[in-house]
Amino acid sequence: MAAERNGGTAVCPGSYDPVTLGHLDIITRASKVFDNVIVAVVNQPVRKKKTLFSAEQRVAFIRDEVQNLANVEVESFETLVVDFAKEKGAHAIVKGLRAISDFEYEFEMNQLNRKMAPDIESIYMMSSSEYSFLSSSGVKELAMFGGDLTDLVPPPVAARLEEALKR
């Protein structure tokens, strides 16, 4: 018996450069918990110098992959994630965690977000075991050297990565 959704609206923020199957797994799982999930694609990430794909391209990749999830929408944003969440009426920010290094960064971000918006809860989902090693930067590096991207990113993303990063 499937669990009933009753969690209001959540935001799943990230750079998604590119979106991986690990990201899509977290989004899909969040869609089973929350009534509405907004995948929030940061236009220009602070931690990365420049994205490989534009915000519009990243939004399009994700929209193509989540079109079967009726309660998920995708849009880009350029503000603090808590401000975006408030604007959208969300009461939760959902992120995936893979390793201790993710935890350290997310713990710090959680404390800052709670200080700015104590009414918005941060919720962390552990990555599924098959994606616990998966990162966008690792995928880009594999693509640069012609590695097999099957089971890491959706096929259209793999094709665009191969085009963009061929050496």
For residue 1, name the pLDDT band (cuts at 50, 70, 90).
very low
The position carrying tokens 């940061």 is: 42
Cα–Cα distance for residue pair 137/139, rounded to 1 Å: 5
Cα–Cα distance for residue pair 24/67, rounded to 1 Å: 12
Q: Who has greater pLDDT, 67 or 46?
A: 67
Catalytic residue among 29, 127, 136, 160: 136
* Pair 122, 40: CB distance under 8 Å: no
Q: Is 136 annotated in the active site?
A: yes
Which residue type sits at 120? I
Cα–Cα distance for residue pair 141/147, rounded to 1 Å: 8
pLDDT of residue 49: 74
Task: Return the minimum-mean-pLDDT range out of 19-23, 46-50, 163-167.
Answer: 46-50
pLDDT of residue 115: 96
Domain ranges of the chain: 9-128
pLDDT mean over 71-100: 96
Q: Output Rg (C-alpha) for the chain, integer angstroms.
A: 16
pTM higher than 0.85 for the full model?
Answer: yes
Catalytic residue among 98, 114, 128, 135: 98
pLDDT of residue 50: 87
Residue-averaged pLDDT of the chain: 92
pLDDT mean over 12-34: 97
Catalytic residue among 23, 29, 58, 95: 23
pLDDT per residue as tens digits for the range 86-141:
999 999 999 999 988 788 889 999 999 999 999 999 999 999 999 999 999 999 99
* Percent of the chain whose predicted confidence (pLDDT) is above 90: 83
Q: What is the arrangement of strands in the sheet containing 92-97, beginning at the earlier edge strand?
A: 72-77, 36-42, 9-14, 92-97, 121-126
* Pair 64, 33: CB distance under 8 Å: no
For domain 9-128, say whether CATH 3.40.50.620 is its number. yes
Q: Is 23 annotated in the active site?
A: yes
Among candidate residues 17, 73, 25, 83, the one with its CA nearest the CA of residue 44: 17
